């Protein structure tokens, strides 16, 4: 049976169609569900194996990107959301979805404490919206199931608040020591580098993190925006064999099928 994925949408989320399509290409049954359908009980999280919170500008990024949506989930769906996590189901937050997960406290989720915020995603150092393609290096020691078999990946970013900052130096060290840093911004030779390679000034060049199980993953770049070779900005000038972002969705579906 193909795994069922809930693609959250509504109130400014605008990458839901691409995210749904990415999961469908990977072999899942992906269903778009409006936030109000969950709050009203018309749809239930427990009926799905995966949850995707796509990118966009939920609630117009008022009072901070992802903050209002995170608050909506916390005060309306806390029990369902917590049960979903406890059962070991998979969650991915992309861009605005990543912002939601850190503001909920779901990531990094030290010691399975998923409701205490330890990091945030704040305004880019450049002081402006960044829309560019970036190189990422994946941490081979990370437990993240979403990035298995991926060493490097090239994806676009589209955000104003993507700078990952820890609450204090102790949290920053715990991220490193626990291998929760899944992906880092690098230059075209694979080395950690500053702007524009690191488009937002994230500490430790963080582009994505996971929880200790590797089942919950948040990242700023958009894998759903690179599903076909033709999505690559230089596909007519370089040999591009596939859409690298699709591998992230396939990894999750394979994990659920084999689990």
CA distances from 223 to 138, 186, 219 (A): 14, 17, 9
pLDDT at 112 over 80: no
Q: pLDDT-based confidence at 63, cuts 50/70/90?
A: confident
Domain that holds residue 49: 4-258
pLDDT at 113 over 80: no
pLDDT at 46 over 80: yes
- Phi and psi, residue 229, nearest 5°: -55, -35
Helix and strand element counts for the chain (H, E): 7, 11
Provide the CATH number for the domain around residue 92.
3.40.50.880
Residue (of 52, 117, 46, 54) closest to 88 by Cα position = 46
- Phi and psi, residue 98, nearest 5°: -65, -45
As annotated, the active-site residues are 95, 222, 224
User: What's the confidence (pLDDT) of residue 62?
Assistant: 86
Percentage of residues of the chain with pLDDT beyond 90: 92
User: What's the confidence (pLDDT) of residue 44?
Assistant: 98
Q: Give the HSE-up count for residue 94: Cα atoms under 13 Å, Cβ half-sphere.
A: 30
Least confident of 61-65, 159-163, 189-193: 61-65
pLDDT tens profile 201-228: 999 999 999 999 999 999 999 999 999 9
User: What's the confidence (pLDDT) of residue 116?
Assistant: 85
Longest dimension (CA), the chain: 50
Q: pLDDT-based confidence at 170, cuts 50/70/90?
A: very high
pLDDT tens profile 126-153: 999 999 999 999 999 999 999 999 999 9
Neighbour count for residue 32 (Cβ, 10 Å):
18
Determine contact, residues 18/223, Cβ cutoff 8 Å.
Answer: no
Q: pLDDT-based confidence at 111, cuts 50/70/90?
A: confident
pLDDT at 114 over 80: no
Number of structural domains in the chain? 1
Q: pLDDT-based confidence at 196, cuts 50/70/90?
A: very high
Q: What average pLDDT does this structure show over 44-72?
A: 95
């Amino acid at each position: 049976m193909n795994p069922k994925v809930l693609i959250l949408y509504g109130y400014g989320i605008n990458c839901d169609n691409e995210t749904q399509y990415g999961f469908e290409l990977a072999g899942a049954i992906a269903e778009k569900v409006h936030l109000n359908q969950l709050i009203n009980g018309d749809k239930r999280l427990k009926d799905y194996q995966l949850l995707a919170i796509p990118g966009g500008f939920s609630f117009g990024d008022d009072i901070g990107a992802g903050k209002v949506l995170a608050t909506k989930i916390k005060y309306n769906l806390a029990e369902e959301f917590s049960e979903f996590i406890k059962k070991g189901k998979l969650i991915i937050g992309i861009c605005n979805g990543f912002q939601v997960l850190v503001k909920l406290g779901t990531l990094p989720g030290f010691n399975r404490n998923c409701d205490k915020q330890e990091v945030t995603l704040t305004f880019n150092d450049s002081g402006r919206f960044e829309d560019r393609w970036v190189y990422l290096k994946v941490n081979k020691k990370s437990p993240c199931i979403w990035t298995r078999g991926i060493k490097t990946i090239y994806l676009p970013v589209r955000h104003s608040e993507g700078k990952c900052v820890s609450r204090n130096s102790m949290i920053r060290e715990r991220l490193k020591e626990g291998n929760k840093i899944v992906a880092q911004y690098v230059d075209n030779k694979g080395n950690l580098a500053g702007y524009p390679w690191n488009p937002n000034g994230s500490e430790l060049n963080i582009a994505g993190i996971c929880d200790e199980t590797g089942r919950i993953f948040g990242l700023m770049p958009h894998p759903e925006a690179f599903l076909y070779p033709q999505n690559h900005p230089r596909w007519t000038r370089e040999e591009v064999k596939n859409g690298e972002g699709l591998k992230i969705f396939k990894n999750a579906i394979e994990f659920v099928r084999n689990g």
